[in-house]
């Protein structure tokens, strides 16, 4: 299996973590007597605003507000039964912020110590400690965290058990950070060298120090950690100095400017992740962002570009569809007609004004050999950036063809035609004709669905454009040259009805089809057999839908709650047995499916659907294709 995306990014560049959550919550009026973790339910807007502030300040890693959301700590507040609710809600709040910012943020599932000692010094057995961390890790993983962060640990034995529980529960990267005193030892007397050795053997990917002291003292500990193991990635997140209590409130003396100056020293000592702990604010993180960017720019050789240009990333970047009047087929249609295997990777638009993460995902897909990126149109009827605008950005900034999901849900007959003309003018000519999920399914239920036509009618409209006329028969001045794709769902219970609708679509002028995700190849065989029994030779090439699963709970959710996705019992059982290795098993299962599906009649490509925006994981599926099938893998 290839390196996890988080660890790959660490290998490429240092990352900036966010700062203090507690400090910011107290500033908003939270009480030190209450359970701060419960604020994800009681005051979710507070938590989201703080996450948003850190994201805006330039953080690459946002920690979930789950530091004490474990069974042992929550029991002190009568909330021991809320572990799942609080952790799941906390991850969702960060995911929502990531959607709004549109940036490629990593979500760190944050966990602190349990607050009670292990036996014989305290009441907790090793089994109780293990189970408390296993429970919290499992929810964070299921909810969509990208990495696990164990921070502010005082007792090394407790941290080792926590890491063991994580390794045996999921496959997420593990960051482990302890507190060290000014003398460079842990509170129980371990040296940095002992901490590095034991934590790495336990299974941590990144090791470091946070809390307890300010930047200067912590830098010395960082140096000792580096001396102990020069190969281990390091994290450092200091407090904003030693706090002073004034009129019942704590004030931290270290300024953002001081943190910015210390950032250079952290990076020079090999820190891969820098950030802040108690007393740090978005102003500190913004100052560190500026320092980090300056340090990166200074690392480049004289005359070297500060960043790769679009042309560097995509030598064939400009998608050329010809001049006015030219109706040459799109690149995708040319490849299909030439009998080539076509790869498309799906990107969901963001719920924000920027689409950095989505463009980065499209660029990764292009590098891994994708021929196209298909862009969804407010899937599940939830408000997002328009698919057309994201298609244009991807084509301009990455240089890969796009396939726009074009629904009839939100457009009148006049609006459909106007948007098709606009898409053509902007160079987007591959259209997946869809009816669209009803507004009642989404987050704007008061929205009115239009549905002047359905997907069958939309295909006919686009086909008329390709003939050079609109719906009213008015001459368009040139032929449209659109490539028309349609959807089909071989997982439907009533396959005869699905076949008949599909036949109407392809009869209306479709050039190829993209299926819903398939988890049992027999489903495609059954669909194909019924079609050929009723209508003769299957008429169009197929891009078969493949969705790599992340874990058993993810699989169960898709099967039971997402329209259009049906898993086989074998697939569900495999994911159940995979346990902590869900991501690897999901990719392996997707690869096996792809190898079998691509040998079936009329399958001439794959339509990959990433989950949780994990484009790197989805593209691992392509590793089983031959060089001829995969096309160019670009460096």
Instruction: Yes or no: say if 188 and 219 are a contact pair by the CB < 8 Å rule.
Output: no
Residue 595 pLDDT exceeds 50: yes
Which residues, in sequence order, are bridge partners of residue 603? 542
Report the number of secondary-structure helices (H) and strands (E) in the chain: 25, 18
Cα-Cα-Cα-Cα dihedral sign, residues 562, 565, 568, 570: negative
pLDDT, mean of residues 490-519: 93
Q: If you write DSSP's letter for every residue of 81-95 in order, what string do you get?
A: GGHHHHHHHHHHHHH
Task: Say how far apart CA 336 and CA 338 lie, in whole Å.
Answer: 5
- In which band, very low, low, confident or very high, does the pLDDT at 634 lie, cut at 50, 70 and 90? low
Judged on CB neighbours under 10 Å (0-12, 13-18, 19+), 307 is: exposed
For residue 181, CA distances in Å to 216, 217, 220, 238, 265 come to: 12, 8, 11, 12, 19
Cα-Cα-Cα-Cα dihedral sign, residues 129, 132, 138, 140: negative
Instruction: Using a pLDDT cut of 70, give the percent of the chain over it.
Output: 92
pLDDT digits (tens, 9 = 90+) for 14-73: 999 999 999 999 989 998 889 999 999 999 999 999 999 999 999 999 999 999 999 999
Residue 326 pLDDT exceeds 80: no
Q: If you write DSSP's letter for every residue of 261-289 in order, what string do you get?
A: HHHHHHHHTTEEEE---TT--HHHHHHHH
Instruction: Yes or no: say if 60 and 106 are a contact pair by the CB < 8 Å rule.
Output: yes
Task: Report the predicted TM-score, pTM, of the whole model to 2 decimal places.
Answer: 0.72
Q: Tell me which of 224 and 378 has the higher pLDDT.
A: 224
Residue 166 pLDDT exceeds 70: yes
Residue 440 pLDDT exceeds 90: no
Which of 318-322, 357-361, 498-502, 505-509 is predicted with the least confidence, judged by mean pLDDT? 318-322
What the chain holds in terms of domains, given with CATH numbers, is: 5-296 (3.20.20.330), 335-439+448-543+604-615 (3.20.20.220)
Residue 324 pLDDT exceeds 80: no
Instruction: Yes or no: say if 592 and 521 are a contact pair by the CB < 8 Å rule.
Output: no
């Amino acid at each position: 299996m290839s390196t996890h995306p988080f660890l790959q990014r660490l290998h490429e560049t240092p990352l900036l973590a966010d700062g203090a959550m507690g400090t910011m919550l107290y500033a908003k009026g939270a009480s030190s007597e209450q359970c701060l973790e419960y604020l994800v339910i009681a005051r979710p807007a507070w938590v989201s605003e703080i996450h948003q502030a850190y994201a805006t300040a330039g953080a690459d890693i946002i920690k979930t507000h789950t530091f004490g959301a474990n069974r042992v700590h929550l029991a002190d507040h009568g909330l021991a039964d809320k572990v799942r609710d609080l952790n799941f809600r906390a991850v969702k709040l960060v995911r929502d912020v990531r959607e709004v910012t549109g940036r490629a943020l990593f979500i760190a599932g944050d966990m602190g110590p349990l607050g009670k000692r292990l036996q014989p010094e305290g009441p907790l057995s090793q089994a109780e400690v293990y189970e408390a961390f296993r429970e919290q890790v499992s929810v964070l993983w299921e909810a969509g965290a990208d990495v696990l962060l164990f921070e502010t640990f005082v007792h090394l034995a407790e941290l080792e058990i926590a890491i063991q529980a994580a390794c045996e529960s999921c496959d997420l990267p593990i960051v482990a950070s302890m507190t060290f005193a000014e003398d460079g030892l842990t509170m129980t007397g371990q040296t940095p060298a002992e901490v590095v050795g034991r934590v790495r053997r336990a299974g941590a990917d990144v090791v470091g120090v946070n809390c307890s002291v300010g930047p200067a003292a912590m830098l010395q500990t960082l140096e000792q950690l580096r001396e102990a193991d020069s190969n281990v990635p390091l994290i450092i997140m200091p407090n904003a100095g030693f706090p002073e209590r004034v009129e019942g409130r704590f004030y931290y003396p270290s300024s953002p400017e001081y943190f910015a100056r210390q950032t250079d020293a952290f990076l020079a000592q090999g820190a891969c992740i820098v950030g802040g702990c108690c007393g740090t604010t978005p102003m500190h993180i913004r100052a560190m962002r500026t320092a980090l960017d300056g340090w990166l720019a200074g690392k480049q050789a004289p005359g070297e570009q500060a960043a790769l240009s679009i042309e560097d990333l995509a030598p064939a970047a400009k998608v050329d569809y010809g001049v006015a009047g030219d109706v040459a087929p799109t690149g995708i249609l040319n490849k299909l007609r030439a009998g080539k295997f076509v790869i498309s990777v799906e990107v969901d638009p963001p719920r924000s004004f920027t689409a950095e993460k989505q463009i980065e995902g499209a660029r990764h897909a292009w590098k891994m050999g994708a021929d196209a990126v298909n862009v969804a149109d407010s899937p599940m009827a939830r408000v997002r950036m328009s698919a057309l605008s994201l298609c244009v950005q991807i084509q301009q900034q990455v240089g890969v063809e796009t396939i726009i999901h074009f629904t009839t849900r939100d457009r009148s007959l006049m609006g459909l035609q106007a948007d098709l003309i606009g898409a053509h003018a902007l160079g987007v000519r591959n259209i997946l004709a869809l009816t669209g999920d009803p507004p009642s399914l989404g987050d704007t239920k008061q929205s009115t669905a239009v549905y002047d036509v359905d997907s069958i009618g939309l295909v006919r409209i686009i086909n008329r454009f390709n003939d050079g006329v609109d719906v009213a028969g008015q001459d368009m001045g040139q032929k449209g040259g659109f490539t028309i794709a349609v959807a089909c769902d071989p997982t439907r219970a009533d396959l005869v009805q699905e076949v008949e609708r599909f036949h109407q679509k392809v009869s209306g002028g479709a050039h190829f089809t993209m299926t819903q995700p398939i988890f049992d190849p027999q489903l495609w065989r059954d669909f194909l057999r019924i079609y050929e029994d009723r209508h003769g030779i299957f008429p169009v090439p197929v891009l078969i839908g493949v969705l790599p699963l992340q874990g058993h709970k993810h699989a169960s959710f898709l099967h039971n709650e997402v329209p259009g996705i049906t898993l086989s019992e074998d697939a569900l059982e495999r994911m159940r047995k995979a346990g902590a290795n869900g991501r690897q098993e999901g990719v392996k299962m997707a690869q096996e499916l792809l190898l079998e599906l691509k040998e079936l009649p009329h399958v001439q490509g794959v339509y990959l659907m990433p989950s949780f925006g994990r484009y790197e994981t989805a593209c691992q599926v392509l590793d089983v294709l031959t060089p001829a099938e995969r096309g160019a893998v670009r460096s």
